[in-house]
């Protein structure tokens, strides 16, 4: 038996759109790994945040939000979710304490039970408890309990950092004894390019609101180390038509200028470096850049 054993496990975070999954991931790893905006399904693919401390390493996977839609987009999201479910040791179902839990959540839980998957501990995190009275919270808990029996239920507020330590300690206590999957200094499976792309995408979604679809793409074409304390970054923003391109650029270039300033500040805070940022909006149709 090792005198200093390593413990490691994967926690997949699942829930409907806008219940606070990304906020929970960020507070758990104490870093803005997953971007947060007002738009539904800002998270459009798996995002991994890694928490390493003492002898424990926990890989948290943020997944796209569940919603009822029979289109191709929802099928892609469900594929991302099922992939994350399959590899997980724990499933953390997040619900908004102020919202009715839709059948799509319970249907997913039924499907998980029906699948021939290795046994997984499934816990419930009722989020945004700072916005709900104790009486309503107890009623909500009982209502959910009547429909599904979880291994553990936690009352949390990702925004206020309430109940997060209890949640983290529970995961740590139940981790299997396994080798770590990542070096201790790694906090995300995303490359630097991907993380910088997401910072700019976040600013776009915050500034443009509903006119631009969630699946807008940002690509870092070149990152130049000007010095130890300064980066020069060239990014392309890909949209699907000229109307979206015009919206992003704005009258006399004012909108793209505002986006550039916001993204530069966001990236500077993330990298702790001075940033020169250059953005170009391009049209991509069926994978081909047309301008």
Confidence of residue 104 (pLDDT cuts 50, 70, 90): confident
What span, in angstroms and rounded, lies between the C-alpha atoms of 141 and 36? 26
Phi, psi of 103 (to 5 degrees): -65, -20
pLDDT of residue 125: 96
- The percent of residues above 90 in pLDDT, for the chain, comes to 56
Confidence of residue 95 (pLDDT cuts 50, 70, 90): very high
Q: How are beta strands 217-227 and 152-155 bridged, if at all?
A: unpaired
Residue-averaged pLDDT of the chain? 87
Q: Identify the weakest region by mean pLDDT among 9-18, 53-62, 98-107, 155-164.
A: 98-107
pLDDT of residue 117: 76
Burial class of residue 122 in the structure, from the number of CB atoms within 10 Å of its CB (0-12 exposed, 13-18 middle, 19+ buried):
buried
Confidence of residue 65 (pLDDT cuts 50, 70, 90): confident
**In this predicted model, which residue has the larger pLDDT, 208 or 184?**
184
Residue 167 has pLDDT above 70, yes or no: yes
pLDDT of residue 40: 58
Residue 3 has pLDDT above 50, yes or no: no
What span, in angstroms and rounded, lies between the C-alpha atoms of 211 and 205? 9
Query: Inter-axis angle of helices 242-249 and 192-208, to 10 degrees?
Result: 90
pTM higher than the cut 0.85: no
Q: Where are the beta strands (DSSP E) in 150-267?
A: 152-155, 217-227, 230-239
What span, in angstroms and rounded, lies between the C-alpha atoms of 84 and 91? 9
Burial class of residue 152 in the structure, from the number of CB atoms within 10 Å of its CB (0-12 exposed, 13-18 middle, 19+ buried):
middle
Cβ atoms < 10 Å from Cβ of 199 = 24
pLDDT of residue 4: 61
**In this predicted model, which residue has the larger pLDDT, 66 or 184?**
184
Domains belonging to the chain, first-starting first, are 7-173 (3.40.50.300), 192-289 (3.30.300.20)
Contact 46, 59 (CB under 8 A): no
pLDDT of residue 43: 62
Residue 73 has pLDDT above 60, yes or no: no
Contact 44, 205 (CB under 8 A): no
- The percent of residues above 70 in pLDDT, for the chain, comes to 88
Residue 193 has pLDDT above 80, yes or no: yes
pLDDT digits (tens, 9 = 90+) for 248-287: 999 999 999 999 999 999 999 999 999 999 999 999 877 6
Side-chain half-sphere exposure of 83, counting CA atoms within 13 A: 14
Q: In what order do the strands lie in the sheet with 217-227?
A: 217-227, 230-239, 274-285, 288-289
Confidence of residue 2 (pLDDT cuts 50, 70, 90): very low
Q: How are beta strands 90-96 and 7-15 bridged, if at all?
A: parallel
What span, in angstroms and rounded, lies between the C-alpha atoms of 269 and 274? 9
Q: What would the mean pLDDT of 163-176 be, rounded to a whole number?
A: 95
Q: What would the mean pLDDT of 130-141 be, rounded to a whole number?
A: 90
Contact 214, 206 (CB under 8 A): no
pLDDT digits (tens, 9 = 90+) for 45-57: 788 999 999 899 9
Q: Where are the beta strands (DSSP E) in the chain?
A: 7-15, 47-53, 56-62, 90-96, 121-127, 152-155, 217-227, 230-239, 274-285, 288-289
């Amino acid at each position: 038996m090792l005198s200093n054993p390593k413990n490691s496990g994967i926690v997949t975070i699942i829930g409907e759109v806008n219940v606070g999954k990304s906020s929970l991931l960020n507070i758990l790893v104490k870093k803005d790994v997953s971007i947060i905006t007002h738009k539904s399904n800002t998270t459009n693919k798996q995002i991994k945040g890694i928490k390493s401390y003492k002898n424990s390493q926990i890989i948290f996977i943020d997944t796209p939000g569940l919603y009822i839609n029979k289109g191709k987009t929802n099928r892609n999201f469900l594929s991302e979710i099922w992939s994350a479910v399959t590899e997980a040791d724990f499933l953390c179902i997040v619900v908004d304490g102020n919202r009715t839990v839709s059948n799509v959540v319970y249907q997913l839980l039924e499907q998980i039970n029906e699948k021939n998957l290795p046994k997984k501990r499934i816990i419930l995190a009722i989020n945004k408890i700072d916005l709900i009275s104790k009486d309503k919270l107890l009623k909500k808990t009982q209502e959910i309990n009547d429909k599904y029996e979880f291994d553990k239920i936690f009352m949390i507020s990702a925004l206020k950092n309430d109940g997060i330590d209890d949640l983290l300690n529970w995961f740590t206590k139940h981790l299997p004894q396994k080798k770590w999957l990542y070096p201790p200094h790694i906090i995300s499976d995303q490359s630097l390019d991907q993380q910088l792309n997401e910072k700019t995408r976040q600013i776009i979604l915050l500034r443009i609101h509903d006119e631009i679809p969630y699946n807008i793409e940002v690509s870092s074409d070149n990152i130049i180390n000007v010095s130890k304390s300064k980066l020069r970054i060239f990014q392309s923003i890909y949209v699907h038509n000229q109307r979206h391109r015009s919206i992003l650029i704005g009258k006399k270039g004012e909108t793209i200028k505002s986006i550039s300033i916001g993204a530069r500040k966001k990236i500077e805070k993330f990298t702790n470096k001075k940033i020169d940022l250059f953005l170009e909006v391009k049209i991509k149709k069926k994978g081909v850049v047309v301008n």
